[in-house]
Every structure is written in structure tokens, then in C-alpha cells.
Amino acid sequence: MRQRKYTIEELIDDVSMPVVAYAGEAKSFLREALEHAKVGDYDKADQMINESRMSIERAHEAHRGVIQYSVMKPDSIKIPFILMHAEDHLMSVSSELNIFEELINIYKVIDKLNKN
């Protein structure tokens, strides 16, 4: 049986959708981390931050495939909307990770000060 050949557009869609999904998953973990931090459950907050990091790494792994292909064949890729959307999600959740980590650290400091 002969394997079907995929177009570059199909390959980009196959890469873009996991990037969007993993970035969305990472964002959900961040929001959950902040909720745990608000009630002082810092172990769970840290666990959710780590889950978010893993989802972001998975998104980067998927995105790397498109980057590598575009380096090998620069004239063959026209950037479709779905890829731009995926990259936007990935960039925003990467920034949010840094902000949420700082917010959680602030909650920890406030809790520590209130206990003294």
C-alpha cells in the first residue's frame, strides 16, 4: 500500500494545531497555579507551574519542525494564519509563565510576612 504524500499546508496544520493545544494547556495550568497560590497551596502551585513548563516545551518541540523545514526550504513556506495564531499563543503563554511565577513568589513573600 502506497503512503499518501502530504502538502506543506497539511504539514503546517499538523504542527500548528498541537502548538495551539499545548499553549492553551499551559495557560490553563498557569491559571490553576495562581488559584492554588491565592489560598496558600504553594506545593500545588509549583506543580502546576512545572506542568505548564512541560506543555510549553511540547509546543516548542512541535514548532521546531516548521522552523527546521523553513530553514531547509525557505521558498516553500507561506505563513498561514493558523501558524501565526499558534505562534501568538506560544509567545503569550511563555510571557505569562514569567509573570505568573513572579505573582506566586509575591504571594509566598506576603504569606511569610503575615506569619511573622
- Active site annotation includes 85: yes
User: What sections of the chain are H helices per DSSP?
Assistant: 8-38, 42-72, 81-115
Give the domain CATH number at 33. Answer: 1.20.58.80
CA distance 38 to 24: 21
In-domain check, residue 2: no
Domain enclosing residue 32, as ranges = 8-115
In-domain check, residue 3: no
Q: What is the pLDDT of residues 89-105, one digit of tens each?
A: 899 999 999 999 999 99
Eight-state DSSP code of residue 34: H
In-domain check, residue 110: yes
- The answer to whether the beta carbons of residues 26 and 55 sit under 8 Å apart is yes
pLDDT at 6 over 70: no
* Confidence (pTM): 0.78
How many domains would you assign to the chain? 1
Q: Is 13 annotated as a binding residue?
A: no
* Unique residue bearing C-alpha cell 491565592: 38
Mean pLDDT, residues 62-87 taken together: 74
Smallest Cα–Cα separation from 47: which of 60, 34, 38?
34
Q: What is the pLDDT of residues 18-56, one digit of tens each?
A: 889 999 999 999 999 999 999 999 999 999 999 999 999
Pick the catalytic residue from 36, 60, 63, 85.
85
